[in-house]
Amino acid sequence: MSDAVRERNILLVTSVAHFLTHFGLLIFPSLVLSIQQDWDLPFDRALALGFWMYLLFGLGALPSGVLTDLWRRPRLMIAVSLAGMAVCSLWAGLTRTASQLTWALGGLGLFASIYHPAGMGLISTGVKRRGWALGVNGVAGNFGEVLAPVAAGVLAVVLGWRSVYLVLAVPAAAMAVLALRLKADGLPAPAAREEAAPRGRRRTVLAFALLCLAMVCGGIAYRGQTLVLPKWFQVQGGALVSIVEGWTWLPRAGGRVVAATALTSLAYLVGAWGQVVGGRLSDRYDLRRVYFGFHACALPLLLLMGRTSGPALLLTAMAYAFFAFGMQPAENSLVAALTPPRLRSTGYGLKFVLVFGVGSLAVKLVGGWERGGGLATVFPHLVLFVAGLLASVLLLALFTRRETIRNHG
């Protein structure tokens, strides 16, 4: 098999798996509205049903990364991830109580946690144009986020929210079989790319620690906005939501839910293309500058989201998503640049522990902010975490100012 064909197959399997991973996690915020109505729960109580899913999604990433590096069979790890997601999705679709759903979602998050360290590690060591490949893979994940709100909203209204999880189980099981057939184990890292890391183990560890601090802040900000955006569109969409609602031909309550989730999907659709731009810039320019620049553009837009309504809210959410998603190839490339090949999946595992594990605290934080001052207060709180991220990146740039941190090849 030629290198080009092998790289294409790697990118195909990892991208579809990435799509399913994010689809499986992002359908929950849109289903909260239906679950809330079905079981007559307060919004914060319904939201809390997903806490263990997001927590285990993050915490499971590090042991998954370590196991991937030790086993050196990333395709098998990806297959296990997809198969486990299929089983837990089926379980979630058959639940009848809140406690059962909490357990099923927790299992879904745990198996989903395997993908990122295995998939990202495989791409960073097995594809030549690392930034571009991570960007394409990121777009696939973002399309999962794009389709999740509207697909979940429509299916929940038409067939019930449980049907969404039953549908997810089918492609997850099919992709698990394809991952088993992938020829991609034991790939070496292209040597030229590894010169990007700062010289010296101590300097590299300290630089990676600063990046980790930035990723913690970013993880909380990212998860927080995904949790509230469908609800925020429902509250602040105004005439725009009414127009979209009229196109759904559904009863008023269901139509408004679908309209809010459709607008969320539209915002994420625009944001997904930020990954392509971010990936290309990450292959051409210093990764620290690209990473900082995208977040600096996202910060004021996140603040504006809490102060706008109607069409202005949609435009602001689109612009925010473009920069918030577009930074991901630079962030993933920084992780690769600051970790040795033999610990690459472990590095990604640590990243996703921080981004999604610690980021799962956003479930509790958002619930508290919403109870204390309403949904509008969530956005300025999240802005503070983006500001902390920017400060961490500035420290990283200062600490590594004598080094060049770029993708190569």
In 41-112 the beta strands, taken as DSSP E runs, fall at none
Share of residues in the chain with pLDDT > 90 (%): 32
Longest dimension (CA), the chain: 63
| Tokens linked to 336 | 């690769």
Q: Which of 223-232, 241-250, 392-401 has the lowest mean pLDDT?
A: 241-250
Please give the pLDDT value at position 23. Answer: 92
Label residues 147-176 b or e (16+ Cβ within 10 Å = b).
bbbbbbbbbbbeeebbebbbbbbebbbebb
Q: pLDDT, tens digit, for every residue of 309-359?
A: 889 999 999 999 999 989 988 998 898 888 887 888 888 888 888 877 777
Spatial separation of the C-alpha atoms in residues 119 and 138, rounded to whole Å: 11
Task: Determine the average pLDDT of the residues in 159-172.
Answer: 92
Q: Which helix (H) or strand (E) holds 271?
A: helix 252-272
> What CA dihedral angle connects 383, 388, 390 and 392, to 10 degrees?
-170
Q: pLDDT, tens digit, for every residue of 190-227?
A: 443 444 445 566 677 888 899 999 999 998 998 888 88
Burial of 253 (0-12, 13-18, 19+ CB in 10 A): exposed
Spatial separation of the C-alpha atoms in residues 73 and 118, rounded to whole Å: 9
pTM for the model: 0.76
Q: Which CATH number fits domain 3-399: 3.30.70.1230, 3.40.190.80, 3.90.950.20, 1.20.1250.20?
A: 1.20.1250.20
Q: Is 236 a residue whose pLDDT tops 80? A: yes
The Cα-based distances of 313 to 39, 302, 303, 322, 324 in angstroms read: 30, 10, 11, 14, 16
Q: Is 408 a residue whose pLDDT tops 60? A: no
Q: pLDDT, tens digit, for every residue of 33-66?
A: 788 888 888 877 888 888 899 888 878 888 998 9
Q: Is 124 a residue whose pLDDT tops 90? A: no
Domain extent listing, the chain: 3-399
Task: Determine the average pLDDT of the residues in 266-289.
Answer: 87
No. of helices (H) and no. of strands (E), the chain:
19, 0
Please give the pLDDT value at position 192. Answer: 39
Most confident range (mean pLDDT) of 73-77, 146-150, 258-262 is: 73-77
Handedness of CA 82, 88, 93, 99 (dihedral sign): negative
Phi, psi angle pair for 407, to nearest 5°: -75, 155
At residue 176's C-alpha, the angle toward residues 119 and 145, to 5°, is 60
Please give the pLDDT value at position 283. Answer: 84
Spatial separation of the C-alpha atoms in residues 271 and 264, rounded to whole Å: 11
